[in-house]
């Protein structure tokens, strides 16, 4: 299962080093490694995060995700237990979200 991850480079916290190397299969494998099985609702979030990253060069904040998709905060916490924005970025092959100073 995680064979597909063998050639993928991660940083010390488990975020992909090269977001462009990401594929949906890699996403599924990272999710599995985190103990998650991806549903359509997960993909709403992941696809949005990928498109935001393409447009703006950084992972969206939690508030941006809930504002711009039909997934609300309650649901996103249920989908991605722990830190949802962080976990979604990880599975989407993106860097850790910044944006708080």
Partner 1 sequence: MKTLLILGAGTAGTMLANKITRKLDSRVWKVILVDKDETHYYQPGFLFVPFGMNKPQEIIRPKRKYVPAGVEFVLSDVERIDPGANQVILTKENRVIHYDYLVIASGTEIRPDQVEGMLDGGWQQNIFDFYTFEGTNKLANFLKTWQGGRLVVNVAEMPIKCPVAPLEFVFLADWYFTRRGIRNKVDIIYSTPLPGAFTKPIAAAHLGDMLEKRGIHVESEFNIGEVDSTKNVIRSWDDREIPYDLLVATPTNMGAEFIERSGMGDELNFVPTNKHTLQSEQWENIWVLGDAANLPTSKAGAVVHYQMEAAIENLLAHMQGRELKGHFDGHANCFVESGFNKGLLIDFNYDVEPLPGAFPMPIVGPFKLLGESVFNHWGKLAFGWMYWNLMLKGIDIPLPNEFSMLGKVIPESFDAKQTLKLQRGDSHV
Which residues lie near partner 1 (CB under 8 A)? 13, 61-64, 67-68, 73-74, 77, 81-86, 96-101
Annotation marks residue 31 as catalytic: no
The residue (of 4 and 19) whose beta carbon lies closer to partner 1 is: 19
Q: How far apart are CA 99 and CA 4, in angstroms?
A: 31
Which is catalytic among the residues 1, 6, 55, 100?
Answer: 100
Smallest distance, partner 1 to C-beta of residue 79, A: 12
Per DSSP, the residues of 51-92 read HHHHHHSSPPPHHHHHHHSS--HHHHHHHS-SSHHHHHHHHT
Positions marked active-site = 100
């Amino acid at each position: 299962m995680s064979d597909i991850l063998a050639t993928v480079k991660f940083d010390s916290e488990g975020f992909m080093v090269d977001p462009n190397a990401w594929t949906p299969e890699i996403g599924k494998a990272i999710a599995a490694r985190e103990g998650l099985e991806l549903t359509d609702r997960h993909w709403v979030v992941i696809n949005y995060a990928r498109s935001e990253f393409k447009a703006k060069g950084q992972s969206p904040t939690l508030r941006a995700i809930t504002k711009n998709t039909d997934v609300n905060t309650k649901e996103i916490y249920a989908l991605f237990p722990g830190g949802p924005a962080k976990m979604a970025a990880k599975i989407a092959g993106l860097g850790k979200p910044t944006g708080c100073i």
